[in-house]
Amino acid sequence: MEGEKPPRRIDAPDQEAPPGDGSQPDDNASKQHDNVLVKTNSNNIARSNNRPLTDSNHNTDKLFQSKLLSRGAVEGLLDDSTEEDSSSNHASSTTQGQVDIDYAALGPEQGKLVKLLEERGAVEGLIDTSTGSDRVKVLGLADVFHDERDKIIDFLLTDCEQGKFRRKTLQEYDEKEGVIHRLVYWQHYGSGNKFVEFLLDVRVVSPDESTNIMELAPLDEDDLSDEASAMLVEILASIKTKTVKRGVIKGQLSFTDFEFGQTAVTMVGTLKAEERATEMKAEADVRTFKSFKSVRSTRSSVVGSPGRTKKGGVKAAYATVKGIMEEVGKQFRQPGLIDERRKRHFVEEIMPRAPPLTREEDAMLERVGSPEKELRTKGKRIKGTLKEGIDKLFWWEEGQLWAATLMNVDTSATRLLAELYEMNTYERSQLHKKKHGSLPRAIRKKGKNSNAHR
């Protein structure tokens, strides 16, 4: 790029740095300056957190120090904060690492789905094991959402009048602590003004500290209070279609703590479909509860009436349920943040527990270091590679031609190792999908088997 300084090559002659140009000072001055930076950074980190330095934050300090040292005598603030660090609502430290899932708190079908999520690893997309016929679907849906379960449940229970997934609370009950009980009306819009509606009795319970269960039961208009019915009438008054499809769900949504601050979400139960006529709205005053009763009586249920079943009725409701799961997943999608937590966990938790090197490993590293010394002393640049980002060099040694490449990576050694070691990331799964399509991708680690699929 014009006006930009090319990176310094290893075979370039040493140049004296003019004062104030931001280049590296002499060795003695550099060491003295580095010592000041390291000491200042460590003290400031300890003070900013109001606690002394401990082993848990020592590795983080070293990573930050390495960035300070690598940039040399450059003025200005080095901001190493991330989106996660600067947010006051980021996941707690107890959920940012790996978690032990309590399968006892889940039903057998939900447990099977969560195990499938564990096995596939960091892969985005809905797992669908649903079965059934054109009249009744037996649901089996699962996905991993990139945030904590409390936020996801709060999103589902928050009213929304815009977008594809619209929600309205018609009535709320006072329950014992830890239980949420509401009557809700949901709409999921497809193309144009077409939508599928759900009138549900929703009850959220917590079987243990790591799981929430949202129980879903179908409602009829006759089950609503006058006040709730009036709210529903107001919503239906704006409908411009002659018929509306309704999904009838009886089942459960489960929300279970998953690794690195995520939530495993499953849906099990049965799904049927109804079709409700709305063409008589114009003949009655839908603003009153009395007229709503007369309009409501024209509703026709296709379930249990095979002769009146319209093709694709249940299929449309089933596609809508999956569409709702996907919409909620998009709301909390942040794969980059989850990948960052996974790599940070490797640096701060896994690496400090690594065993010491064996004699054989020490000897191997010594042998690897010898060619590096030869490279720096005898290596000659391959012609035509001066402006490339990687140094390509060769040299002769005892009648043999050696070739090597050399480059600088703008990160710490520990972070680079995490990038190479942690293959189970959303970024890598996306690259695999882009390159290989639906070809299965398996990752196997000692003591753990992780199969990642498209």
Q: According to the model, what pLDDT value does residue 395 have? A: 83
pTM over 0.85: no
Q: Are 405 and 391 in contact (CB under 8 A)?
A: yes
Q: Give the tens place of pLDDT for each residue, 271-306.
A: 999 887 764 443 444 444 444 444 443 343 333 333
Q: According to the model, what pLDDT value does residue 127 have? A: 96
- The Cβ-side half-sphere exposure at 88, using a 13 Å CA radius, reads 0
Quick one: pLDDT band at residue 383, thresholds 50, 70, 90? Answer: confident
Quick one: pLDDT band at residue 407, thresholds 50, 70, 90? Answer: confident
d(CA 298, CA 98): 53
Q: Give the tens place of pLDDT for each residue, 340-356.
A: 999 999 999 999 998 99
> Is the model's pLDDT at 150 over the cut of 60?
yes
Phi-psi region of 76 (alpha: psi -120 to 50; beta: other; left: phi over 0): left
d(CA 198, CA 170): 12
Q: Which of 316, 275, 279 is nearest to 191 (CA)?
A: 316
Question: Which tokens sit at 389?
Answer: 């980002």
What phi and psi values does residue 316 have, to the nearest 5 degrees? -65, -40
Residues 184-212 have a mean pLDDT of 92
Quick one: pLDDT band at residue 430, thresholds 50, 70, 90? Answer: very high
Residue with tokens 């649901």: 139
In sequence order, what DSSP letters do the residues of 117-159 get, joined into one string? HHHH-S--S-EE--EE-SS-EEEEEEEEESS-HHHHHHHHTS-
Q: According to the model, what pLDDT value does residue 87 have? A: 40
Q: According to the model, what pLDDT value does residue 147 have? A: 96
> Is the model's pLDDT at 38 over the cut of 60?
no
pLDDT > 70: percent of the chain: 68
Q: Please report which helix (H) or strand (E) contains residue 366, including its range.
A: helix 359-378
Average pLDDT value over all residues in the chain: 76
- The Cβ-side half-sphere exposure at 332, using a 13 Å CA radius, reads 28
β-bridge mates for residue 449, sequence order: 444
Domain positions in the chain are 1-80, 103-333, 339-423
Q: Tell me: domain 103-333, CATH 3.30.530, correct? A: yes
Q: According to the model, what pLDDT value does residue 285 have? A: 47
Quick one: pLDDT band at residue 49, thresholds 50, 70, 90? Answer: very low
Q: According to the model, what pLDDT value does residue 137 have? A: 95
β-bridge mates for residue 434, sequence order: none
Q: According to the model, what pLDDT value does residue 95 have? A: 57
